[in-house]
Amino acid sequence: MLKLHKLYICLFLFIFLLNTIVSHAENNIPTISAESAIVYCLNTKQILYDKNINEKHFPASITKVMTALLAIENNKLDDRITYSSTAINSIDRNSSHLWVVPDEQITVEHSLYGLLMKSANEIANGLAEKTSGSISEFVNLMNKKATELGCTNTHFENTNGLPNDNHYTTALDMAKISAAAFKSSKFREIIGTKIHTIPPTNRNVERVIGNSHKMLLNTKFHYDYCLGGKTGYTVVAGHTLVTYAEKDGMQLVSVLLKSDTPNVYLDATKTLDYAFNNYKLITLTEQNKTFKKLPVFQGNKVKDTISAFSSQKLVFVVPSDYTESDMRVELNLPEKFNENITASTKIGTVKYYYKNNVVAYTNLISNKTVNIKPSVFDFKQGLFLGLVGLVVALVILVLKIVLTLVLIIVLLIILAKIFKFKFKRKRKNDAILKD
Question: What pLDDT score does 4 carry?
Answer: 45
Q: Is 375 exposed, middle or buried (0-12, 13-18, 19+ CB in 10 A)?
A: middle
Q: pLDDT band at 127, cuts 50/70/90?
A: very high
Q: Above 80 in pLDDT, residue 386?
A: no
Q: How far is CA 82 from the centre of its chain?
A: 34
Question: What pLDDT score does 430 carry?
Answer: 64
CB 382 within 8 A of CB 328: no
Average pLDDT over residues 347-354: 92
Question: What pLDDT score does 261 carry?
Answer: 80
- Please state which of the ranges 40-49, 256-265, 303-312, 414-423 shows the lowest mean pLDDT: 414-423
The 3-class SS string of the chain reads: CHHHHHHHHHHHCEECCCCCECCCCCCCCCCCCCCEEEEEECCCCCEEEEECCCCCECCHHHHHHHHHHHHHHHCCCCCEEECCHHHHHCCCCCCCCCCCCCCCEEEHHHHHHHHHCCCCHHHHHHHHHHHHCCHHHHHHHHHHHHHHCCCCCCECCCCCCCCCCCCEECHHHHHHHHHHHHCCHHHHHHHCCCEEEECCCCCCCCEEEECCCCCCCCCCCCCCCEEEEEEEEECCCEEEEEEEEEECCEEEEEEEEEECCCHHHHHHHHHHHHHHHHEEEEEEECCCCEEEEEEEEECCEEEEEEEEEECCCEEEEEECCCCHHHEEEEEECCCCECCCECCCCEEEEEEEEECCEEEEEEEEEECCCECCCCCHHHHHHHHHHHHHHHHHHHHHHHHHHHHHHHHHHHHHHHHHHHHHHHHHHHHHHHHHHHC
Q: Above 70 in pLDDT, residue 13?
A: no
CB 92 within 8 A of CB 166: no
Instruction: Identify the residue with better confidence: 63 or 397.
Output: 63
Q: Above 50 in pLDDT, residue 1?
A: no
CB 47 within 8 A of CB 39: yes
Q: pLDDT band at 383, cuts 50/70/90?
A: low
Prior bond of 262 cis (ω within 30°): yes
Q: Above 70 in pLDDT, residue 27?
A: no
Give the length of the chain. 435
Share of the chain above pLDDT 70, in %: 88
Question: What pLDDT score does 420 carry?
Answer: 76
pTM for the model stands at: 0.79
Residue type at 145? K
CB 273 within 8 A of CB 249: no
Instruction: Identify the residue with better confidence: 208 or 3.
Output: 208
Judging by DSSP bridges, how do beta strands 238-247 and 226-234 pair with one another? Answer: antiparallel
Question: What pLDDT score does 110 carry?
Answer: 99
Average per-residue pLDDT for the chain: 89
CB 116 within 8 A of CB 194: no
CB 209 within 8 A of CB 228: no
Q: Above 60 in pLDDT, residue 384?
A: yes
For the chain, how far is it from start to end, CA to CA, in angstroms? Answer: 100
Q: pLDDT band at 266, cuts 50/70/90?
A: very high
Q: Above 60 in pLDDT, residue 396?
A: yes
Question: What pLDDT score does 6 carry?
Answer: 46
Rounded CA-CA distance 223/273 in Å is 10
Give the C-alpha distances (Å, rounded to integers) separating 330 from 351, 356, 431.
5, 11, 102
Closest CA to 12 of 311, 350, 363: 363
Q: Which residues contact 344 (CB under 8 A, 6 or more apart)?
A: 1, 2, 4, 5, 8, 311, 365, 366
Closest CA to 61 of 102, 122, 110: 122
**Maximum mean pLDDT: which of 89-93, 188-192, 360-364, 409-413:** 188-192
The 3-class SS string of 165-231 reads: CCCEECHHHHHHHHHHHHCCHHHHHHHCCCEEEECCCCCCCCEEEECCCCCCCCCCCCCCCEEEEEE
Question: What pLDDT score does 271 carry?
Answer: 98
pLDDT tens string 403-435: 888 888 888 888 888 877 777 776 666 666 555
CB 348 within 8 A of CB 332: yes
CB 125 within 8 A of CB 100: no
Q: pLDDT band at 11, cuts 50/70/90?
A: very low
Question: What pLDDT score does 166 carry?
Answer: 98
Average pLDDT over residues 318-340: 89
Q: Is 179 exposed, middle or buried (0-12, 13-18, 19+ CB in 10 A)?
A: middle
Q: pLDDT band at 233, cuts 50/70/90?
A: very high
